Structure 1
Amino acid sequence: MDELKKAYELLGLPEGASKEDVEKRYFLLIRRERASRQRDESEQPGEQAAGLEGINKAYKTILEYEEKQTMEQFNAAAYGKYKGMAGSAQKVDHFFSYYKFHVLGAIALILIIIFSTKGYIDHRHKMAELAKLPPIDVSVSFFGEYYSKDGTYPVTDMKPLEADFLSQFPQWERVQTFFTYVPSTMQSEQDSALMQKSIIDLMMNKADVYILDKANFAKLAMDGSLLPLDGENAAKLGAGLKPALEYKATTEDVPEEHVYGVDISASPLLKAIPVVGKEYIAGVRVNAGRPDNALAFIAKYLE
């Protein structure tokens, strides 16, 4: 405290002077000291430096004391409610103030590790479960404006649908199904999002058989995504294939008209499935992994 008292005396101020008064006095003394130095050229440089150094030191001492007082008042207001635990509370607060980004980064990293690990474990578990299943005999995708029988979309539980398809083929062990709702018109942002999703599904879900409405049949046939069903393939579809059921189209690469789809809407077997739509046009993906089973599937629904 003696040093603080001397600092005030050197600046010619009473103890406890306001910060504004301290600053005014400091700059006044600095100007005087410099002016005096310029007038008195006979004064030794060392003495001039000593005068400035004393003023600067006194000013710094007072500022440090005031900052300390301000901090103590703040801490008393902020941590006084903790009473005996005020010191610990202050340390914790300071820790998070200085290291909050480090702490948040560490938490984020831990969460990433947890979710990544969980995702990896879930994926391994799913792969293990799939490995126990028999190989897929045929995969079928409903692609168009189709609903579940309760009027909602999409169909999320595929098991009843797969079980119904599988019941028609006793020699098969597994049928895989996909369901992609494709809106016929763009009336909302949701429709736009569903349309974008349908494009992704079309690329990701490599089905053997597509069941389509008229609009999406026309798109896939024109794009060359469907296998021609006339010629040799027509014989594999059996006697149920009638000219009236054929859907023909041309593609960008094949200007001649070919059969790319077959209308199976009248099949009584479709009445049991939990899917509702206007048309059921069956087609085979051009590079289907199981084309013979795909044709056998369509032939069954033409009987």
Structure 2
Amino acid sequence: MDELKQAYDVLGLSENADKEELENRYYILVRRARAQKMREGDAEDGALRVDEEAISRAYRYIKDYEETQAKAAFTEQNYGKYKKMAGRAQKWDHFLHYYKFHILGGILLLIAIGYGIKSYVDHKHEQAELAKLPPANLSVMFYGNYFYGDGMAADTKPLGEDILKQFPDWQRVIADLTYVPSDTKSEQDMALIQKSMLVLMTDKSDLYIMDKLNFAKLAPQGALKPLDGESGIPADLQMKSKTEEDTSEHVYGVDLSGTTMAKELGVNGTEFIAGIRANAKHPEEALTYIKHFEAKK
């Protein structure tokens, strides 16, 4: 404390001086010292010479002391309750303050790695389960303004099983459903439409069941197989269209809207146009499906 008192004496201040008085006094003395240096060689006016180095040293000592006191008060206020562990608590707090984003990034990275591992394990498990199943005789995609089960994301495995019941000679049927809004009334509808377009880019179903709106979109793109040469399809159920490469009309779909298909399978909708994918893996089975339900009115 003697050194602190001496520092205040050098500046000509009492120990009770506040920060503003300290700053003002230091500023005045520095200016006076520099003015004296500029007048060196001139006649002295008898004023007491100011030692700039001494007042700067005293000023820094007081500032360092005040900073140390402020840190001690802060530590006591925030970490005093930890008593002997206060130092460690403060270090841990500082660590979290400066590295919180690094920690958060590490946690997110671990979550991503965990999710990736889980997804990989789930995928391998799913592939192993699929390997145990018999090969699919047909894959069907209901694509349009349709609902099944509890909602748009309902499990369609029962749908495939119900289709399989219609064909005793088959071993397995894969069924999917993609809901496509008929009108774009909200951002959600727009998102669903964009999602349905992505589905088409990756889906390899043999048979598509569509509403008229989506049939009118898919047929002109050459996505469906022409059915002109197939016998047994009534003329009033034939759905024709032109493609970008062929300007003449051909049969690309069969209207099953008036059949019992939707009721038997539990699919909610009003229009059901069946079309076979242009490069279907099982085109004959797809045609068998169409003729089977076409006869059920």
TM-score scaled to structure 1, two decimals?
Answer: 0.88
Structure 1 ranges of 4+ moved more than 3 A = 81-88, 266-270
Instruction: Determine the structure 1 residue equivalent to 2:23.
Output: 23
Q: Do the aligned partners of 1:178 and 1:205 also contact (CA within 8 Å) in 2?
A: no
Q: CA deviation at 1:8?
A: 1.3
Q: Gapped runs of 5+ residues in structure 2?
A: 43-49
Aligned to 2:177: 179
- TM-fit CA distance, 1:106: 2.2
Quick check: 130-139 or 59-68, which moved more?
Answer: 130-139
Aligned match of 2:206: 208
Question: What residue number does 1:117 align with?
Answer: 117
Corresponding residue of 2:47: none
Q: Secondary structure at the match of 1:14?
A: coil
- The residue that corresponds to 2:223 in the other structure is 225
| Partner SS state of residue 139, structure 1 | strand
Structure 1, unmatched stretches of 5+, are 43-49
Provide, for residues 269-288 of structure 1, a one-character-per-residue CA deviation record: whole Å limited to 9, x for no partner: 54321102112111011122
Alpha-carbon distance, 1:131 to partner: 2.2
Alpha-carbon contact 1:80-1:86 (below 8 Å) kept: yes
Q: 1:164 pairs with 142, 154, 162, which one? A: 162
One-letter code aligned to 1:208: D
Q: 3-state SS of the aligned residue for 2:208? A: strand
Give the alignment of 1:62-81 within 5 angstroms. Answer: 62-81=62-81
In the alignment, structure 1 residue 287 sits paired with structure 2 residue 287: no
Separation of aligned partners in 2, 1:154 and 1:198: 12
Q: Cα offset for 1:155?
A: 5.7
The one-letter amino acid of 1:154's match is: M
Partner SS state of residue 95, structure 1: helix
Pairing of 1:4-153 with structure 2 (within 5 A)? 4-41=4-41, 51-148=51-148, 153=151
Identify which of 247, 252, 261 aligns with 2:239: 247
What is the 5 A alignment of 1:248-267? 248-267=240-259
Q: Deviations over 1:208-232 (max 9, x none)?
A: 101111111111112221110012x
Local SS of the residue matching 2:175: strand
SS of aligned partner of 1:301? helix
Q: Please say if residues 262 and 268 of structure 2, whose CA atoms lie closer than 8 Å, have aligned partners that are also in contact.
A: no
Q: CA deviation at 1:267?
A: 3.2
Distance 1:102 1:188 in 2: 39
Amino acid at match of 1:266: G
- The Cα shift of 1:16 comes to 3.7
Q: Distance in 2 between matches of 1:117 and 1:247?
A: 47
| Deviation (angstroms), 1:105 | 2.5
Q: How far, CA to CA, are the matches of 1:22 and 1:92 in structure 2?
A: 35
Label 1:183 to 1:99 Cα distance change in 2 as closer, same or farther (>3 A): closer
1:82 Cα deviation from its structure 2 partner: 3.6
| Structure 1, 178-187 or 262-271: larger mean CA deviation | 262-271
Over aligned residues, Cα RMSD in angstroms? 2.1
State the number of aligned residues: 289
Counterpart of 2:184 in 1: which secondary structure?
A: coil
2:262 and 2:269 in contact (8 A); partners too: no
> 1:272 aligned to 2:270?
no
Distance 1:111 1:160, change over 3 A: closer
Task: Give aligned-pair identity as a percent.
Answer: 51
State how far apart, in whole Å, the 1-side matches of 2:212 and 2:199 are. Answer: 19
